[in-house]
Amino acid sequence: MLQKFRTALLCLTLAGAMPQAASAADLMTFWDTPQMGGNSFNAAEPDKAYFEALAATGATWVRLTFSKWKGEGRDFLLGDADHYKGLPPKDLAKLRETLDAAQTAGVKVVITPLSLPGARWKQQNGEKFDDRLWSNPAFADQAVKFWSDLAAALKDHPAVAGYNLINEPAPEKTTGLAENGAMADIQTWQEKHAGGTRDLPKLYTRIIEAIRAVDPVTPVMVDSGYYANPRALAAWPKRLADDKVLYAFHMYEPYDATSAPNMKRETPLRYPGAQTDYAGSTMSWGRKAVADHINTAFDWAKTQGLPPTRVVAAEFGCMRLWADCGTYLTDVMDAVEAKGGHWAFYSFREDEWEGMDYELPAKVKPGQFYWLSGQGKAGKLPRDGKLMDILKARMQK
């Protein structure tokens, strides 16, 4: 698929149908068929070997964050999320080198910051949620400027397949709204905050308009609210005006079962069968419940006249040592693929955390991972995990 796409672009360029720079960046056609990939949330910049290993799994794209990398200032590429003044040149050069490595390996990249001005990622903010972007309009102005600068700098890079404006925004977090409460409550919240500082579609519209002033062609990916919950997307009154937008959600529900805290229980919750509070009542999670939750995003897109290829399960996963992880991953992929959307598993060879590294077999315990990584010997870890075989079977079919 990717080779056919490149050939088509080359023919159009030679025919004079579009400028050469635009042909490198205008990748909306790439997203017209379902794409499968992974997430790269590493503390060190991934190199060519990393991207080659990802490509070997069958992945066609990667959602790449730079926010953990060491930069010129406190916050990589932002300089300082307390006051954005411009892109630090050395940080930008480092990002370009990483994009070059991805391009060489044939992997398309969606650029994904974990922080924006006034919204520093919690894990880099003393574990405190940063609400300033959602309460102070001055930070929205800085976020717009940041993305305008970054799009102008990257618009012609051939590896870039999209700009994911912010990872897991949560303007609802401090307002008392339950994360998976009743749908009527979520819709009422959206109506109440329309036009205000917590109106996520409004902020996205401003950022996209600024991007389009410097880059009219590169696709934009937008996470839904409340940590990219598909039910938050379903409360949006309408799609965004730009026609090169991908609508993203993340899938870890039932979080009480898929996440690290479950592994600390004396008896971990199992899947199917785990029960959690959901939509004002109790949900018993299984294959149908997973599909119903995911379908919330696709159903909303259909009402907006959008094809399913405009919807992305941009993150999904479960703890690799959880007994039911393989079953859960399968059910999530089945649900997304049945609708015709894109997906990206979380995560590929994360260098600081092994919890969702599906290449690692069950015999590799967390202590072994951290010891070998601390000794600079992570390359000695076995990578024949059965969970990655499940993902590969989908990506290579």
Q: What is the pLDDT of residue 27?
A: 78
Average pLDDT over residues 85-104: 98
- 3-state DSSP assignment of residue 348: coil
pLDDT tens for residues 325-356?
999 999 999 999 999 999 999 999 999 999 99
Q: How many CA atoms lie within 13 A of 24 on its CB side?
A: 12
Q: Considering the chain, what is the average pLDDT of its residues?
A: 94
Q: Which residues pair with 220 in a beta bridge?
A: 163, 245
Measured over the CA atoms of residue 278, residue 284, residue 285 and residue 286, the dihedral's sign is negative
Q: What is the pLDDT of residue 257?
A: 98
For the chain, what percent of residues have pLDDT higher than 90?
A: 93
Say yes or no to pLDDT of 394 above 90: yes
Average pLDDT over residues 373-383: 96
pLDDT-derived band at 5 (thresholds 50, 70, 90) equals very low
Q: Which residue has the higher pLDDT, 12 or 230?
A: 230
Q: Which residues pair with 283 in a beta bridge?
A: 276
Contacts of 351 (CB under 8 A, 6+ apart): 42, 43, 44, 373, 378
* Per-position DSSP letters for 368-397, written without gaps between them: HHHHHHHTT-GGGS----HHHHHHHHHHT-
Average pLDDT over residues 304-319: 98
Q: Among all chains, which residue has been given the structure tokens 């229980």?
A: 265
pLDDT tens for residues 195-239?
999 999 999 999 999 999 999 999 999 999 999 999 999 999 999
* Of 24-38, 130-144, 196-210, 351-365, the least confident: 24-38
pLDDT tens for residues 266-286?
999 999 999 999 999 999 999
